[in-house]
Amino acid sequence: MTTTHTTPYRVSTRELGRQAGSSRRLRVVAPAPAELVVGLVVVPQQPDLELDVLLEAVTEGILARISALVPAAAECARCLASVALQVPVDARELFVYPGADRADEELPVVDVDHVDLEPVVRDAIGLALPLAPLCRPDCGGLCPRCGARLDDDPGHAHDDFDPRWEALTALLADGGAAEAAPDVPPAAPHVLRDIPDAAPDRPTRVPPAAPAAAQPAVVDPSPRSTEE
Ligand SMILES: [Zn+2]
Ligand SMILES: [Zn+2]
């Protein structure tokens, strides 16, 4: 088993020794590094991660290879549904001996016969988490008009024609409305009457300047009113 100092990630290398070529495999069980969140994916600290660790002594230090299957919770990038992930993580890091040739390469250092695997594990998990997790590879996402989750409603569709606009649509298409005659007549005559009612007021105020010639043309649709 592992010798733990402050955290389970701090692993003793004493049994491994320093003879290049020797190796030791061990299992580290530890809470996931704290606050590990990448985009839509969160790695909870529990349950504990089970890390398969292989330590190998090399000339300049100790090479650690770590693999684990990391449980993570995510939201689907398309439909926002909750997704439980099992993310395979593999990491490899060289811990150098203090004073070794490569000790100035900003590599982690073997510290009093221990190596701290946590930063390595944290970085490796961060890189392994998917940036755009999906609940399934061909998730249909959300309806852009109403936000419904399309996978829950495969036949989801919207009529392009909104019944609330029916009357207006009929008016705009007035000229060709003949075919729609059964529905349209009640609405159309109303509007045609409104226009003549308003229009006759104007000619009466402007009679001196405007000769009768131009104005009547505007009121054309309703001949009776122009003859007043
Ligand atoms: Zn989805
Ligand atoms: Zn919709």
166-195 pLDDT per residue, tens: 666 667 666 544 444 454 444 444 444 444
Residues with CB under 5 A from ligand 1 (ion): 76, 78-79, 81, 135, 139
Total-model pTM? 0.64
Spacing, Cα 153 to ligand 1 middle (Å): 13
- Over residues 131-160, the pLDDT tens digits come to 999 999 999 999 999 999 999 998 899 887
What per-residue confidence (pLDDT) applies to 148? 93
pLDDT(42) > 60: yes
Boundaries of every domain in the chain: 10-128, 163-226
- Looking at residue 205, its pLDDT comes to 47
Question: Of the bound ligands, which one is closest to the alpha carbon of residue 137?
Answer: 1
Q: Which ligand is nearest to the CA of 159?
A: 2
Burial of 159 (0-12, 13-18, 19+ CB in 10 A): exposed
Q: What percent of the chain is modeled with pLDDT above 70?
A: 67
Determine the pLDDT at residue 162: 62
CA 13 to ligand 2 center in whole angstroms: 60
- With a cut of 70, say whether residue 227 has pLDDT above it: no
CA 81 to chain centre: 10
Which pLDDT score is estimated for 203?
47
Asked if 79 and 133 count as a contact pair (C-beta separation under 8 A), the reply is no
Q: What's the 136 CA to ligand 1 centre distance in angstroms?
A: 6
Classify burial at 38, counting beta carbons within 10 Å of its beta carbon; exposed 0-12, middle 13-18, buried 19 or more: middle
Contact between 215 and 207 under an 8 Å Cβ cutoff? The reply is no
Which-ligand-closest: CA of 75? 1
CA of 40 to the centre of ligand 1 (A): 12
Q: Name the DSSP class of 1.
A: -
Residue 44 confidence (pLDDT) above 70: yes
The residue written with tokens 């390469």 in the block is 105
Cα atoms found within 13 Å of the Cα of residue 91, Cβ hemisphere only: 26
Give the pLDDT confidence score for residue 163 in this predicted structure: 62
